[in-house]
Structure 1
Amino acid sequence: MRNTDNGVIGSDQTAVMARLALDELIDQLLHSNALSLKLTANPLVADRAWHLTENTCIRAFSADDPQAKKRAHHALFILYQSWLADPLSPAAANQFHPLLSGIRNYIESEWLRAESKRFHHQRPMLNAGNIVDELRALCQQHPASHHPLFDFLASEASAAQIDYFFKSDSALNLLFLRSGGDGAGGLAAGNPR
């Protein structure tokens, strides 16, 4: 069982916080007992979390730093995992804490902003006469449509391999896709193990 009494909020927290990367700090905050009370007692923790978030996002999504990207995506992974946490755990209690929700929204927004810049393209004018052709063209032009995995599944995979792919893909969708249909969700970098 996870020890939820951590050193991030308590004695010597400044020294501990200074050593933690964003994903590590998020993990500590998420699994803290009485998070709101602890943040009220020491507002520097929230300031440090925001500073780390902004700094990591700048390095990850503006400077294209692979290590920062890994940290940002791992932070999202940890936050998304909390939605599947044991209902009586600190992670479940803290999953919608305003600080953690704000950080999640900020990372997602910065990630989507960077992706929009990378894949900016003219959006077609859609109507009943061209929507099918435009959708096909969009799918065929997208880089993901040319991934070797899809070629393998289309031409070489056995029925068992296709079945395994759909089972694992649907499990990942449960972990990484936001519910609610607001369009703000997306795939995280995956399990960083």
Structure 2
Amino acid sequence: MKLKTEFSPVTKAKDGRHSWCKACCRVLAKSSYDPEKAREKHAAKKTSPEYIAMKKVAYDRWRKQYPERARAATKTWRDANQEHVRDVWLAWTAANPERWALLRRQHSKLRKLRKKNQSVGVVSYAAILERDGMVCHICAETIPTLDDLHFDHVVPLARGGEHSMANIRPAHAACNLWKSDKLPDELTLA
């Protein structure tokens, strides 16, 4: 006869104990365990959308909590996988030529500003459009299409203006080109 302590506690059982002893449960678990099946189950779990979303949330939380360690880990991984990083980058630039051209232009502008030691702020063009609407700040008329939309620095960069949300306004392409590097009080609409 076995002691009551040799049986695992179970809340659903009448006597509060499992019907099999701990040793018998271990033998049953070992006999029915298939390592290959366990690997397949684990691999299927790791590719499920729920698991991927959960891991992404945990990873993002970790990156916010330990930014220095996250940057170091990313740098270490990128250094160890330079060919893969390059292949992914080339594939992305080939698949997104318009976005890549825009990024090159933005990078070039920011680089020029930094060389001149001018301040560079974070700019969200969508937020500027939400703030000002599709109205030209030079002639105060509605901008009909996105093709005719330019974002103008009110105080031009060439005259010491900042590249910031406060200094950028929507303008017609023609108005922006006509304004050139003039200050607002130098403009005279004919």
TM-score bin, normalised by smaller chain: under 0.3
The structure richer in strand per residue is 2
- Larger RCO (CA under 8 A, 6+ residues apart): 1
The structure richer in helix per residue is 1
Highest CA radius of gyration, 1 or 2? 2
